[in-house]
Every structure is written in C-alpha cells, then in structure tokens.
Structure 1
Amino acid sequence: MPLRFSELCIDAHDPAALGHWWSQALDWPSEITEDGDVALRPPGGARPLWLFLPVDDEKVVKNRIHFDFTPDDQEAEVARLIGLGARHVDIGQGESSWVVLADPEGNEFCILAAE
C-alpha cells in the first residue's frame, strides 16, 4: 500500500496567529480542529492539510525543510507578503533568482521567479 501525503505539521509558538498568517498568505480557509489545532485546507480538497501545532520553544535555527512558491509576479508577491508581516532573511543564498522570506515565527520560505 503506497503512502499518501495527508498532513504537514508545523510547530508554532502561537498556532492561531501563525495559522491565520499563512491563511492570509495562501488565501486558504482556516479552522480549529477538534484537537484544538489550527488547520488550513488547500482549495478543491487537495492535500496536504496544513496543521499548526502548539510548542513551547522558539525557533532558533534555519529550517531543514522549507516551502518554495512560484507566483505570477515575484516582486508584487514579495511586497504583499512583507505587508502581511513576512521579512527578508539571509541564509547565505547570495545572488539568486529567488527571494528568501520568513513568516512571523521565523520559518523560512522562498518566492521563486515567475515561470
């Protein structure tokens, strides 16, 4: 039986706030699960479901896994995400065609150049 990628679990100091931020960033609806976690559901019933789970500790090192997003307009999308509370981060990427940002809890993600 093959594995199915059903949930992506994201540790968060404040799951409600971080889940809300990503809900705005992705334009995906959020909901509180019966366990009290925050869930984002991709449009059209796609998977994986994003679950924001409470943790007491703060993020202190670079992520070992991150998200890459390809927008229609990289510059406009970076500006929109900065307006929502993302910030530029330097992880040693140097001159590149992508922009590295971090969400309000410091989780890095990349905005790639439009295809």
Structure 2
Amino acid sequence: MALTFDEICIDAHDATALGGWWARVLGWQQDVDADGDVVLHAPPGAGPNWLFLGVPDDKVVKNRIHFDFRPDDQQAEVDRVVGLGARHVDIGQGDETWVVLADPEGNEFCILAAED
C-alpha cells in the first residue's frame, strides 16, 4: 500500500477570497469545485494542489503547521506579498534570516532568505 500526497486542505472563513489571494501570490490557476471550495492547481513539480474549504469559525491561535517559501530575492518578494495584503507578524521568532508574514485571514507563513 502506498500514499500519494495529493493536496493541502486549508480552512478559511472566506474560501473564495483567501483562495483567490493565494492564487495571486503563487501565480497558480484556481477553480471552484462543485462544493464551492477553491482549488489552486500546482504547476508540475511545485507540490500538491491547495484546497480552500469554507468554515464558519475564524483562526484564533498560531498555526501548528505553516508554509516556507524560498525566493530569488527575499526583500522583493516580501514587498510584493505585503503589497497584495499580507502583514508582518511577530510570533517570537527574534532576529532571523526569514520573514514571518500572515495572509488576510491570519495564517502565518515564512519567506526565507535566498540561497547563495
């Protein structure tokens, strides 16, 4: 028996808005399925699809899992994503090489330093 990593499921108060936001950040195609959930289609080699599921509750605590992204130019990507509506957050990380941001619903993610 084998498992295939097929998709990442993300609860969202507004699945359409959050899925659309991440589609702009990642540059991925999005579709809405028959249940009204938003699917972001990962390009080949970019990992699993992302599925945004509408839930009635808001996020209230720090994520137990988060995404790390490694750009070619960290500051340019931080500026771009903040310009799209992300915000800087302090989760006690201190002075590190990565930047912690939150999406419009408060889900934390990191933009790492570019590799040398």
Q: What's the counterpart of residue 48 of structure 2?
A: 48
In structure 2, what is the Cα distance between the partners aligned to 1:86 and 1:58?
17
Structure 2 unpaired stretches of 5+: none
Q: After the TM superposition, which parts of structure 1 deviate over 2 Å for at least 4 consecutive aligned residues? A: 44-47
Q: Relative to structure 1, is the Cα distance of residues 54 and 71 closer, same or farther in structure 2, using a 3 angstrom cutoff?
A: same
The aligned counterpart of 2:101 is 101
TM-score, normalized by length of structure 2?
0.96
Which residue in 1 is equivalent to 2:114? Answer: 114
Q: What's 1:23 paired with?
A: 23
Q: Which amino acid aligns with 1:105?
A: E
* Aligned twin of 1:32: 32
Over residues 47-102 of structure 1, what are the superposed CA-to-partner deviations in whole Å (9 max), with x where a residue is unaligned?
41100001111100000000000000000000000000000000000010000000
2:53 is paired with a residue whose SS is strand
Count of residues in Structure 1 that have an aligned counterpart in Structure 2:
115
Q: What one-letter code is carried by the residue in structure 1 that aligns with 2:92?
A: G
Q: 1:16, 1:36 → 2: CA distance? A: 8
SS of residue matched to 1:62: coil
User: How far apart, in 1, do the equivalents of 2:101 and 2:47 lie?
Assistant: 24
